[in-house]
Structure 1
């Protein structure tokens, strides 16, 4: 794979992280103006669907939405809705930096799920990274402390857990389905229940709030496309470490828009979480290369 393609993949991933961090800030701004959780989620998916369809058309992948694994996409949509509810809930309940930092626990949960659910071999190095990650979680969440609301920390960790579950589901679906089709079906299948939730809690807003909700969908959809497109140019092990740049954006946007800076414990706990996640990704990459090298060539 050429260095140009790898740099393109890294650039797209960094763009995706910046867009999704901006979406989170828009969600928080809309919530401050009276928007509910259900409607921010509805507009996130409503705005994303036409962007996804346009992207599939431009890339020639529109035919890939045909699937024989509808039940798998349905299960992914259910898990995705649960994860989105927790993610947006954490944004509502916590400062942006804390909500973002807790999502970095996803690789820790993914390692645990891989060992317990998929029976994947997990050596002492990964278990050490898991324990380091949990130390970071405890430092950020401060059980019994007051810096981070306990409810917000619990919802943020639930979001990280669901991100890990979804990553495993996507790995299984990805064996037969293209990424664009998976993005499309998640958007399409999640819209009906979200529309019901929105209508049951319909609220009138001023023009600025409607604009923020529209921005949530447009920016979130663009971020989702950039995430998927990055993997066309570079391996997962190369682009995933770029995700940790989200903390820079969350800190900057939290300071500029809400006059919030991360607490002292977040500055200590977040590096532990990031370090554990990077170590897990590095070990995954090395093991994958070793397994590939050990396989005999296909005649």
Structure 2
């Protein structure tokens, strides 16, 4: 078996990372993933601005993802990893997740990046609702109150009042659907046994997203320019790489410690929205985002306290 050369930069970097505290290592993975997912949003938006429909972008993300992941599947265990006794859970997870992804991509092409990112933070709020209704977990009044405050933040982002420009409702609903889909995916993971392969889950999701998007994407098929192919490849490959980083982060560090780092996406979205698309968020966006972030941070911290206390 070939061992890494202690003299290489890669070896020294791994040694230095391994010497860091677990939470700090997890935070570094999380920050890298956050930057990556923000980049995906930018690419989806640029593709939309260049004339590529959102559903076609979603279709190509799944197709390119399959091209990337199938060799890895063969290399690490073979196609037998796709065998499962939980096909119905896979189907439900893929159906909800892929539909939410397509609706979210549509929202990204229609809304300012800062608003899209702020609304995406409602995923933990949906998780609270699903935990209470599907998993039958006991949710106290404090978490319910925080959840209500978070969703009120979405209404604030919608910019109520006659003296401001109101965000289009359909894209906002699309982004909420994507956040709901993320919450469903997290909730459904609890129904899989520990031995279920993450690589298998990712493969089924990519294949399912291609199937679900096909009826709408194929009639919209168009030749892509070299620049569009490059952006599509970026979306497809990044979706796998940065999802792996998210998994690495949560396996390395405490979830409650990582939660605040996820909100750096908003700062990146504001900066990139201004630099690339000339978008300047208004006061309603900041106010609504603050309410959503405060609510989800409170829920994360309370979950951590309850876990340490050994009760729900």
- TM-score grouping bracket, smaller chain normalisation: 0.7 to 0.9
Matches within 5 A, 1:136-285: 136-143=153-160, 146-173=165-192, 175-285=194-304
Q: Are the counterparts in 1 of residues 97 and 178 from structure 2 also a CA contact under 8 Å?
A: no
Asked if the contact 1:45/1:221 (under 8 Å) is kept, the reply is no
Cα deviation, 1:157-201, whole Å, max 9, x if unaligned, reads 222222222221123226452333322221123223334432221
Residue 122 of structure 1 is matched in structure 2 by 139
TM-score with structure 2 setting the length: 0.84
User: Deviations 1:245-292 (Å, cap 9, x if unpaired)?
Assistant: 111111111111101122210111101101100111111112122227
Aligned residue pairs, count: 292
Provide structure 1 residue ranges, at least 5 long, that are not aligned to the other structure: 295-299
| Mean CA deviation greater in 202-211 or 172-181 | 172-181
Asked whether the equivalents of residues 131 and 137 of structure 2 are also in contact (C-alpha less than 8 Å), the reply is yes
Q: Compare relative contact order (CA 8 Å, sep 6+) and give the higher one, 1 or 2.
A: 1
Structure 2: tracts of 5 or more residues without a match = 1-17
Q: Deviations over 1:206-231 (max 9, x none)?
A: 22222222221122222122112223
Deviates more, 1:73-82 or 1:156-165: 156-165
Is the 1:110–1:164 Cα contact (8 Å) retained in structure 2?
yes
Q: CA deviation at 1:48?
A: 2.4
Contact 1:12 1:227 (C-alpha < 8 Å) held by counterparts? yes
Mapped to 1, the partners of 2:221 and 2:241 lie a distance apart of 26
Give the corresponding residue for 1:9: 26
CA distance in structure 2 between the partners assigned to 1:189 and 1:157 by the alignment: 21
Q: Does 1:72 align with 2:106?
A: no
The structure number with the bigger radius of gyration is 2
2:40 maps to 1:35: no
Select the residue among 289, 292, 296 that pairs with 2:308: 289
Q: CA deviation at 1:55?
A: 5.7
Q: Which of 98, 103, 117 matches 1:86?
A: 103
| CA RMSD of superposed structures (Å) | 2.5
Q: Please give the alpha-carbon distance, in whole angstroms, between the structure 2 residues aligned to 1:128 and 1:3.
A: 37
TM-score scaled to structure 1, two decimals?
0.88
